[in-house]
Amino acid sequence: MTIDTGGLATGGAVGAGGEQGEADVLVLGAGIIGVCVAASLAMRGKSVVIIDRRAPGEETSYGNAGLIQREGVYPYGFPHDFGALLRYGMNRTIDAHYHLSALLTIAPFLYRYWRHSQVKSHDAIARQYVTLIAHCVEEHLAMADAAGSRDLLRGNGWIKAFRSERARDQQFAEAERWRGEFGVNYRTLTPEALAEAEPFLVPGLAGALHWTDPWTVTDPHALVLAYMRLAERHGARFVQANAGSLAPHGAGWRVQAPGGPVTARDAVVALGPWAEVLTRALGYNLPLAVKRGYHMHYRPAGEARLNHPVLDVERGYFLAPMRQGIRLTTGAEFALRDAPRTPVQLGRAEPIARDFFPLGERLEPQSWMGARPCTPDMLPIIGPAPRHHHLWFAFGHAHHGLTLGPVTGRLVADMVTGEPPFVDPAPFRATRFS
């Protein structure tokens, strides 16, 4: 989902004869959000062209923990605990890392993020966020069934494993509160029950919290491609071109492509971490930043197997069983989007993860890196552009892009087609930053 404001990308159309021309809707960005928007619109009979410089699903949507987080009613906030802030300030943890050179640039964002993460504000945000999260599993299952890709989804939830009773009891209490307030479901696992569920984890853990509502994805990239094929079966076309060339054209929009211009009445910006480039060029000043993340795949050692995705809570890394192997993912790196990669969190996590679960050799020559698109209030930006007709925004999903792909696709399709939105879009409008 990369855009470049300088010149056209090479490439061509994929679709009906490589034709360019007119469409009803241009969808800019071929990650999970853009593909789900395109599929939802195409299934309603709209002619759709998806624009991206890279093939579908090859950027941020490629690398994640593979969770459809029905329990994720509280978007990931900025810590307010003094001990956590001190640890992060030392810049030696697995779950957070920062580039000192980027702090001056991102400091205004971090300050607003910290303010929105205060308890009262975070509680209010969760009550808005749950209106999206509550639909994530049903919308994924509906789209996966339509795409014939249910085999990529598993309905056995995911596990938080604890090393200390203190962390365990705190999160048990929080989960119970969330169950009462938001209807999420879980079960608590004693050390013995955890060993039965995951017999190859290190002995001596204090227990675990098993979130039972979420579904998991064994290959997120393959899921994006399946949803893309669904969109194409309903007439959508993919054109490899520079989304940064978007410009008004009559009553609609135009993108320059190698095979000629592509025009449409409506355009949807679903460019993830690159949305800021295009929206700024169009005169918007939205408070966007990125959290970068890394992953690496490993072969399980010997006969070891991992039955669920597992978070090592106190250490701050995640292990997920994927088609490609056991995926080790790190927390958030606060850096400029295009800064050189610094996979230090992965280096810190790997030896600890090897003690936690028997990992074999690495399966790739280097780690993968992606950038999560974030807003300071932790809510995505979904809805009409404030100062342009027939322009729509769908970005800023932070850690929950995979989770909210089909939900966002359906909501955007409702608005573009003039149907009653199935979720109130007001909390997610760009005008909240005016």
**What is the domain extent for residue 293?**
83-118+154-215+288-374
Q: Please say which residue of 346, 374, 402 terminates a domain.
A: 374
Contact 33, 271 (CB under 8 A): no
Closest among 432, 406, 346, 302 to 34, alpha carbons compared: 406
Whether residue 18 is predicted with pLDDT greater than 60 in this model: the reply is no
C-alpha distances in angstroms, 255 versus 32, 63, 228, 250, 396?
Answer: 21, 28, 20, 13, 22
Enclosing H/E stretch for 262: strand 262-269
Same domain, 400 and 348: no
pTM equals 0.94
Same domain, 196 and 306: yes
Instruction: Provide DSSP, 301-330.
Output: PTT----S-EEETTTTEEEEEETTEEEEE-
In a domain? residue 207: yes
Token reading at 91: 């810049």
Token reading at 415: 């608005």
DSSP 202: P
Token reading at 318: 């995640």
According to the model, what pLDDT value does residue 92 have?
86
Residue 193 Rama label (left phi>0; alpha psi -120 to 50; beta): alpha
Same domain, 92 and 230: no
**Mean pLDDT over all residues of the chain?**
94
pLDDT band at 111 (very low <50, low <70, confident <90, very high): very high
User: How many Å apart are CA 173 and CA 165, to the nearest integer?
Assistant: 12
- For range 315-334, the mean pLDDT: 97
Same domain, 323 and 341: yes
Radius of gyration of the chain (CA): 21
- For range 277-306, the mean pLDDT: 97
- For range 200-216, the mean pLDDT: 98
Q: How many domains does the chain have?
A: 2
- The strand pairing partners of 352, in sequence order, are none
Same domain, 315 and 402: no
The amino acid that residue 60 corresponds to is: T
User: How many Å apart are CA 225 and CA 223, to the nearest integer?
Assistant: 5
Same domain, 207 and 348: yes
Same domain, 165 and 300: yes
- For range 69-98, the mean pLDDT: 89
According to the model, what pLDDT value does residue 20 have?
64
In a domain? residue 136: no
Whether residue 6 is predicted with pLDDT greater than 80 in this model: the reply is no
> Count of CB atoms within 10 A of residue 283's CB?
10
- For range 28-53, the mean pLDDT: 98
Q: Please say which residue of 359, 374, 389 terminates a domain.
A: 374
User: How many Å apart are CA 399 and CA 67, to the nearest integer?
Assistant: 10
% of the chain surpassing 90 pLDDT: 91
State the pairing for strand pair 359-362/289-300.
Answer: antiparallel
Same domain, 229 and 325: no
The amino acid that residue 177 corresponds to is: R
Token reading at 396: 């800023």
In a domain? residue 428: yes
Tell me the CATH number at 415.
3.50.50.60
3-state secondary structure (DSSP) of residue 14:
strand
- For range 271-297, the mean pLDDT: 97
The amino acid that residue 195 corresponds to is: A
Q: Please say which residue of 374, 406, 424 terminates a domain.
A: 374
- For range 63-91, the mean pLDDT: 90
* Beta-strand runs (E) in 190-261: 207-211, 215-217, 237-240, 247-249, 252-255
Same domain, 359 and 381: no
Same domain, 318 and 423: no
Same domain, 201 and 297: yes
% of the chain surpassing 70 pLDDT: 95
Backbone angles phi, psi at 328, to 5 degrees: -100, 120
According to the model, what pLDDT value does residue 79 have?
84
Whether residue 340 is predicted with pLDDT greater than 80 in this model: the reply is yes
- For range 184-198, the mean pLDDT: 98
Same domain, 308 and 385: no
Tell me the CATH number at 206.
3.30.9.10
Q: What is the 3-state secondary structure (H, E, C) of 120-170?
A: HHHHHHHHHHHHHHCCHHHHHHHHHHHHCCHHHEECCCEEEEECCHHHHHH
According to the model, what pLDDT value does residue 82 have?
73
pLDDT band at 88 (very low <50, low <70, confident <90, very high): confident
The amino acid that residue 421 corresponds to is: P
Instruction: Provide DSSP, 93-125.
Output: -SSEEE-GGGHHHHHHHHHHHHHHTSHHHHHHH
- For range 168-191, the mean pLDDT: 98
According to the model, what pLDDT value does residue 33 have?
98
State the pairing for strand pair 391-395/381-384.
Answer: antiparallel
Contact 343, 97 (CB under 8 A): no
3-state secondary structure (DSSP) of residue 415:
helix
In a domain? residue 73: no
In a domain? residue 237: yes
User: How many Å apart are CA 226 and CA 32, to the nearest integer?
Assistant: 10
> Count of CB atoms within 10 A of residue 71's CB?
24
pLDDT tens-digit series, residues 148-163: 999 999 999 999 999 9
